[in-house]
Amino acid sequence: MSHPLPRVIAHLDMDAFYASVELLRYPMLRGQAAVVGGGRRHTPVEQADGTLKFFKLEDYAGRGVVTTSTYEARAFGVFSGMGMMKAAALAPHAVLLPTDFDSYRHYSRKFKAAVAEIAPVIEDRGIDEIYIDLTDVPGIRDPIGHDPLGGVRAFGHELKNNVRRATGLTCSVGITPNKLLSKIASELDKPNGLTVLTMDDLPTRIWPLPVRRINGIGPKAGARLDALGIHTIGELAARDMDWLARHFTLNTAQWLHDVSRGLDERPVVTNSDPVSMSRETTFDRDLHARRDRPELSAIFTELCTQVAADLARKGWVGRTIGIKLRFDDFKTVTRDQSIAIPTADPAEIRQIAGQCLKRVDLTRRLRLLGVRVGGLSRPGATATAPRAKAKAAGQASTARPPQVEERPDEPTLF
């Protein structure tokens, strides 16, 4: 009899990772609403009696965003990516902790090493999540008692226990026939969950979920599906290709058709090169291109220098240099420009990024500035010229607007 899982693919996701690392440092905060996202000034202060005084979210003032929150804070509606001031309105008495990315990277390396000890076929998807191909792990397909998936479940618990022993942290694991379903499954029983699904479980565990739970369906696609009366994955799966092709491009229709039915043949990729490297910063106050030119210029130069240092440290050069701007009305604008010879030189990155700025209307104040270098290759390698992306049906032209000369009445570029 064939095994219920033709491939055995796991997605391991650390539970509230940054917050959980902080709770290792401050165990007295367990069970409390806590938010990570403050600066060094929010480091807990040791009192005369040896106890720690923690800052509260209501003490925060600035333009930052929540890095993560404990599950107790999430109960108040505070989630990662939310503006800190909005979070303070929702949970003013939540504890506020500074971010410590050095510590998060340390624990990230530890949990991945713990997994690699017993399951080495790993695809790194970020600081707190990985895919693992368990298909060829010895004993994975062995039944235990009357459970044909007993070997899978036992190994899933072994993964979780290894991570816990190495880090003191919990994780949630989804194990299914493919990456698409495993990503969804790892979220179903958080925190500290283990969810094993086969294709037979789609109607009961996957199809009732909102369509946004599919990795790749973002806010715009979700809103489009919602307007078409499609709210759950099951409702999407009930639509045939003809209907989907009438409302989406053929490629998108085929993708929606497949993912709603749990189909995904992507392999676990153990080595992947970065597509780009970037640095960005959100300002404590909105800055204007003319009135705050010296400050903006210094920040812009520093971002270019940081990206160049990242490229040099990791041995890459890039041929597409771009900028990202977010204005005070929250509108985000990007511009990029390609060069003939890839570079990691900070001065050249600064020069080309500055040319990109000339193609943006800078009359509004800025709240975020970023610099990106893409089209990466190894120094000395033959670079491939960037190809124009195929234009989807009905999509407006994305041709680059002609560069315009600065006029005396325009803000001075930084």
- Cβ neighbors of 104 (< 8 A, separation 6 or more) are 17, 18, 21, 127, 128
Are the C-beta atoms of 270 and 116 separated by less than 8 Å? Answer: no
Estimate to the nearest angstrom the gap between the alpha carbon of 414 and the chain centroid.
30
Provide the token pair at 321. 């240099």
Burial of 28 (0-12, 13-18, 19+ CB in 10 A): exposed
- Closest by CA to 213, choosing from 199, 234, 195, is 234
Tokens of 333: 């604008």
Query: Which residue is it, tokens 């090169």?
Result: 273
| Token pair for 349 | 């990155």
235 catalytic? Reply is no
Residue from 129, 158, 235, 410 carrying the catalytic annotation: 129
- Beta-carbon count within 10 A of 114 CB: 19
Q: CA 397 to CA 414: how far, in whole Å? A: 29
Residues recognised as catalytic: 129
